[in-house]
Amino acid sequence: MARTLTVGAAQLGPIQRSDTRKQVVRRLIELLREAHARNCKLVVYPELALTTFFPRWMMEGQAEVDAFFERAMPNADVQPLFDEARRLGIGFHLGYAELAEQEGRTRRFNTAILVDPNGDFVGKYRKIHLPGHAEYEPQRPFQHLEKRYFEVGDLGWPVWRAFGGIVGMCICNDRRWPETFRVMGLKGVELVVCGFNTPEFNASMVEPGHHRMMHHFLSVQSGAYQNGTWVVAVAKAGMEEGCMLHGGTCVAAPSGELVAVASTLGDELLAYTMDLDATAPIKNTIFNFARHRRVEHYGIIVEQTGAIPPP
Ligand code: ING
């Protein structure tokens, strides 16, 4: 008996700085209703799905920065999304900027949550691999100040039994680091959901334009294959405040094969029915971790941060 799950990858087109949370939530609900019509049980929204990708700007005032953060989840602006999801009996993943008062101090994370079809929280993830830089870099046409505006996530990469399987989350740049998927792979993950906002233009290096999408798919497909897991990666795409974010919302099978890819740069729902049991052949053979891994040789991976070439 196959363990099927129909997932809706809910790609968002651009969110401009002047777009209100209410306007964005209306778009999220439209995608949710389309997902319901297409029998989805889980809808995956992108990273920072409630606002424009604000780390592209240098902002001095903390109040200006904090306007992009959510102090509670849910809150009045997003409650209609929670209500409609519960009414339709659909779970969802949502990425947003989280401002939390924790242990007496204010913490700021690039966060994603997983909510089940009853509207109950399944879990939370806070982005660990923060790309970009912390100080203003005048040579860049756009900043990428995630290291300035967010703290490194403090929750690790948990996985949860939900939606009939074992589900985990990562966010955007996390997908480029094999450790992300391997940590969840070592916990038996069967579906990783990942939102992303990836600028088409990479200010940190000169590279051919087609490399961005190739690296995106390479990261998602290898994460899926090397850990025998499904991966659903969902873009915020399109021209946001003059910065083009690439698309490439996709579903990768445990084989590593891309089985569904979005074709626009706007709000687009990609619905795919996956068999969570399809993870078993990979997990039980080529990536049977218990049988094949040799941890006695892997110590350097956690003991050393940067590369140290021979003298
Ligand atoms: N975005 C980009 C990503 O990892 C980036 C950051 C840009 C990485 C360009 C490499 C090159 O997809 C986020 N939000 O992490």
| CATH class of the domain defined by 4-284 | alpha beta
pLDDT of residue 303: 98
For the chain, give every domain's residue range: 4-284
Report which protein residue has its CA nearest ligand 1's atom 11.
202
3-state secondary structure at position 35: helix
Closest CA to 48 of 271, 285, 212, 237: 237
3-state secondary structure at position 289: helix
pLDDT of residue 230: 99
Closest CA to 224 of 270, 261, 193: 193
Catalytic residues: 47, 127, 172
pLDDT of residue 231: 99
Residues whose CB falls within 8 Å of the CB of residue 156, separated by 6 or more in sequence, listed in order = 128, 183
Its pTM stands at 0.98
pLDDT of residue 205: 76
What distance in Å separates the CA atoms of residue 292 and residue 139, rounded to the nearest whole number?
47
pLDDT tens per residue, range 221-252:
999 999 999 999 999 999 999 999 999 999 99
* Cα–Cα–Cα angle for 50, 55, 57, rounded to 5 degrees: 115
Q: Can you tell me which residue has the tokens 């660990």? A: 128
DSSP string, 150-195: -PPPSS---EEEETTEEEEEEEGGGGG-HHHHHHHHTTT-SEEEEE
Report which protein residue has its CA nearest ligand 1's atom 14.
197
- Which residues line the pocket of ligand 1, CB cutoff 6 A? 131, 172-173, 176, 196-199, 202
3-state secondary structure at position 225: helix
Ligand 1, pocket-test mutation among 172, 211, 236, most atoms within 8 A of CB = 172
Mean pLDDT per 10-residue section of the chain, whose length is 311 residues: 96 98 98 98 99 97 98 98 98 99 96 97 98 96 97 98 98 98 99 98 82 97 99 98 97 98 98 98 98 98 98 98
Residue type present at position 140: R
Q: Which atom of ligand 1 is nearest to the CA of 172?
A: 15
